[in-house]
Amino acid sequence: MLYNNFLLLKLKKKFTKHLPPIKGFVKILNQKTGILETDQKYIYYISCIYLKYIMEGDYILANIKNDDNGKLRVIPIKLLESNINVFEGIIKKKNDIIYIIPEKKILYKNIIKCNIKKNIKNIIKNGDKVIAKIIQHPLKRGNDMFIAEITELLNEDNKYLIPWWTILLKYNLSINSPSNNLCKEIKLLDNNIYRKDLTKLCFITIDNKDTKDIDDALYIEQISEDRLLIYVAIADPTAYIKKDNEIDQIASKRMFTNYLPGLTIPLLPKILSENFCSLNPNKKRPVLICKMIIHKNGVLSKKIIFFTGWIKSNAKLNYHDVSNWLEKIGNWKPDNDKIKQQIIFLYKFYLYRKKWNNQNIVYFNNTNYKFIFGDKGHIIDVIIEKKRIAHKIIETAMITANICASEILYKKLGFGIYNIYYGFNINKINKIMELLNEYNIKYDKLFLMTLKGYKKIYNKLYKLNASFILNRIKKYQLITLFNIKPGPHFSLGLKRYATWTSPIRKFGDMINHRLIKSVINKKYNIEKPFNDIFINMNKKRYLHKKAKNDLSNFLYLQYFKNISIRSKIFISEIIDIFYYGIKIRLIKNGAYAFVPKKFLCNNIDNISINQEKGVIFNKNKLFFKITDKIKVIIKEVSISGIIAKII
């Protein structure tokens, strides 16, 4: 009776006019019914005329209104977050228009119009299973319909990659390499540039066994008892890729080759990165070369020469074999005396340069883990990936060559793509001072913000073996960023640092190649890179890291589902402490887990947690601190993460 009262209805309408918009999640029940569930678990019906503008799981902003019957309903007005960006579906062609029917019901009619990429347009047919990405949402840009883009044709050979693609597309990252069709005609663009022929020199490459995009080769001569002459030859994709052409534009959007566990997405078309540009053995290749001299005391000579040339790699070696040979392990040996001599010279170069490195570079003791895959993405194991002597040799050579490039760019042009790292966050310096004072380590605040001060404090903490303090101050540091202006790199101990040694894998290195070539050819009127270049580089690197972390979390969940963990004890390290528990890393396989407060000990009433200082007390006695090693068992493995209990 009250419901139909005219005055009551009028009063309800008056109040709903002044109600603020609400937020909630969409649920599609059928073709005529949808509901909005708010964060407070209130439920409102969505007017059926608006169902075509929303999707299952959308988090939206909506207005509340009364319909003609006096019932409260909502009108969607803005998309806040979409729960479904990537989905599986089946192709349906109708009147030359292609649609996709999602495998799971996500729309009220559950059919979406499609765009198709050129590389699969001619092979797509009715009934094909595909992966698609939503590229147009009605609530996002005021469009009146959903549109999806088909990104991949599914078959038995690639279906296992769906989790990889889903994560990549979540961050708007490419899921496959640029098409080889972009390279219709591959030819040298700079035939008018002089290239020195060094094909008779015994250049060698050292990479992983399965590396196909080989971008660096080395040759060394001993010019005296205490000096080595080093040629660092780097693949030259800019010899084939014209600035601002289609390949160049695609690379400028991708920015990096994306290295993920179990999947690599190249920066360039494979016909370039793995063939014409790759420094494959016994193939004549155009290169950009840095010629430098290293003294026995580790000092780099001021006389540095860059030039373009031709080389022919004499051997494709790998880190494993070279490390074994230098460490006198196993049966592998170089094919001939020339290659043997080059390995010996490389090792000598490393020992020379190590003296400089030890005085200038701040090394972080990070343990790397590697997923070992079987067929079709099946995880066999997770192992610790140790950096062996051959890795260190090549890393040292590339860092040294990059130092040379940064100086040439700085002195001749004053700009380039630089890696900038300023060490400690100035807004956190007081916390660092408090931490150091607790352990009676006294330094001036302003001194710690300098390159010299940064090196000094780290050298002191390493000598003291103060792993707890080292872990804590990492929280108060900045991240490395790209910039077109030169700036210091504190952890490398340098006033400036720019890379050019991975142009097949980094677009910024391609830019620096072009800049260095302009210096070689004395063309100093080259345009300065736009600011949006380094901004996009920083953004893309961040997204790559996010995607890699998401994928690693997914893979760890799959790994623990496949192995027996019942009552198994894992040695772990405490890496962070919160009021509600601790974050740990399992030392054997690198998986992150969380130990809730209730699983810290039998009587949690005695527990006192100091999150700021990274310590836990039990009855006023130190119980745990960050960096402690503890034993745990796994209690739960779910999509939300791994829960562990201390034993």
Question: Known catalytic residues?
Answer: 207, 213, 215-216, 319, 505
Tokens read off for 590: 């690198």
240-246: long-range pairs with CB below 8 Å, 24+: 240/186, 240/187, 240/188, 240/189, 240/272, 240/276, 240/277, 241/189, 241/268, 241/272, 241/510, 242/189, 243/514, 246/182
Is-contact 385 368, C-beta < 8 A? Answer: yes
- Residue 142's contacts (CB-CB under 8 Å, 6 or more residues apart) are none
The H or E element that residue 379 is part of is strand 379-385
- In degrees and rounded to multiples of 5, residue 100 shows phi and psi of -130, 135
- Per-residue burial over 559-571, b if 16 or more Cβ lie within 10 Å, else e, is bbeeeebeeeebe
Report the C-alpha dihedral over residues 609, 611, 612, 614, rounded to 10 degrees: 80
The Cα 602–Cα 199 span in angstroms is 70
- Tokens 């562990």 belong to 644
> Which phi-psi region, left, alpha or beta, contains residue 185 (left: φ > 0; alpha: ψ -120 to 50)?
beta
CA distance 568 to 645: 11
- How far is the C-alpha of 554 from the C-alpha of 81, rounded, in Å? 21
Q: Which SS3 state, helix, strand or coil, does residue 473 take? A: helix
- Give the distance between the most distant pair of CA atoms in the chain: 106
**Count of H-run helices and E-run strands, the chain:** 15, 31
Give the separation between CA 615 and CA 612, rounded to whole angstroms.
8
Token digits for 38? Answer: 């708010």
Closest CA to 520 of 272, 293, 190: 190
Beta bridge partners of 367: none
Distances 134 to 115, 118, 129, 477 between C-alpha atoms, Å: 10, 17, 16, 38
Structure tokens given for 132:
């698609």
Pair 88, 154: CB distance under 8 Å: yes
Give residue 245's identity as a one-letter amino acid code. Answer: N
Distance CA 377, CA 551 (A): 12
User: What is the Cα–Cα distance from 513 to 506, expressed in whole angstroms?
Assistant: 11
